[in-house]
């Protein structure tokens, strides 16, 4: 179902700034990963194609997903997400380190509003708009099974709302919005170091999002 979509994302060059940036990062690397081959291409989402839970983040991390070839893998945000999904029964292990680490998602699909790592983690509005076609395709392909959409950060929240034609909703943490067709939208802070290191997002705040999603999926079967 996703074969053509995956190819379209990987080959996408709509945003020259991002294309140049991820290529540069992949060539220069950082000291701790100097001997690794970076993915350095746009990243499609991954997970269960029949997932009840769709998780949308901001973008791959320059030395996380852009290095490993799988979003939320090999960086601190990925650590937080993997642990939460494992604790709530949606993943088979609590770590997401590399593309070949045996990490498997159950009933969850993970993607991002922007498919390339942006400089300083800040994509331009035109880049978000360009990439919205890819996110729109993922949402459409998953919508038959989706029960809960979790957006991580304001850019992901705004992107999903715009694509879905949702107006008048406010971003915040663990805010739950009922959608049509008995679905839920859960707005969450992003598990970035800026949020987790400052206490803006604590573990209790974070895990509560996934417990809410788990409870809703369980009762909606």
pLDDT digits (tens, 9 = 90+) for 103-131: 999 999 999 999 999 999 999 999 999 99
Q: What are the two backbone dihedrals, phi and then psi, of residue 102, each rounded to the nearest 5 degrees?
A: 80, 10
**Beta strands per DSSP E along the chain:** 46-47, 53-57, 108-112, 148-152, 175-179, 183-188
2 pLDDT tier (thresholds 50, 70, 90)? confident
pLDDT number for residue 220: 80
pLDDT in tens, 164-178: 999 999 999 999 999
Are β-strands 46-47 and 53-57 bridged in parallel, bridged antiparallel, or unpaired? unpaired
Q: For residues 221 and 216, give the distance between their C-alpha atoms in angstroms, rounded to a whole number.
A: 9
Sequence-distant (6+) residues with CB within 8 A of 47 are 105, 108, 109, 110
pLDDT number for residue 1: 56
Q: Which residue has the tokens 């590399």?
A: 98
Which of helix, strand or coil describes residue 78?
Answer: helix
pLDDT number for residue 96: 96
3 pLDDT tier (thresholds 50, 70, 90)? confident
Please give the model's pTM, rounded to 2 decimal places.
0.97
Q: According to CATH, what is the number of the domain 3-219?
A: 3.40.470.10
Contact status, residue 111 vs residue 105, Cβ threshold 8 Å = no
pLDDT in tens, 126-166: 999 999 999 999 999 999 999 999 999 999 999 999 999 99
Domains of the chain by residue range: 3-219
Are β-strands 175-179 and 183-188 bridged in parallel, bridged antiparallel, or unpaired? antiparallel
Q: For residues 158 and 176, give the distance between their C-alpha atoms in angstroms, rounded to a whole number.
A: 15
pLDDT number for residue 105: 98
Does residue 17 register a pLDDT over 70? yes
Structure tokens at 204: 């209790």
């Amino acid at each position: 179902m996703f074969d053509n979509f995956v190819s379209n994302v990987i080959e996408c060059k709509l945003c020259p700034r991002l294309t140049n940036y991820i290529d540069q990062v992949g060539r220069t690397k950082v000291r701790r990963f100097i001997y690794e081959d970076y993915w350095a291409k746009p990243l499609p989402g991954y997970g269960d194609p029949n997932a009840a839970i769709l998780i949308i983040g901001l973008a791959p991390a320059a030395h996380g997903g852009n290095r490993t070839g799988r979003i939320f893998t090999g960086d601190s945000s990925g650590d937080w997400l993997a642990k939460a999904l494992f604790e709530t029964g949606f993943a088979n292990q609590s770590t997401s380190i590399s593309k070949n680490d045996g990490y498997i998602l159950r009933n969850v699909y993970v993607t991002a509003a922007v498919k390339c790592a942006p400089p300083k983690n800040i994509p331009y509005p035109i880049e978000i708009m360009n990439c919205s076609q890819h996110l729109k395709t993922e949402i459409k392909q998953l919508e038959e099974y989706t029960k809960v959409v979790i957006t991580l950060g304001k850019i992901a929240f705004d992107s999903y709302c715009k694509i879905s034609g949702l107006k008048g909703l406010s971003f915040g943490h663990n805010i739950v919005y009922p959608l049509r067709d008995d679905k839920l939208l859960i707005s969450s802070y992003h598990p970035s170091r800026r949020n987790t290191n400052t206490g803006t997002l604590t573990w209790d705040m974070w895990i509560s999002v996934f417990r809410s999603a788990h409870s809703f999926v369980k009762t909606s079967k």
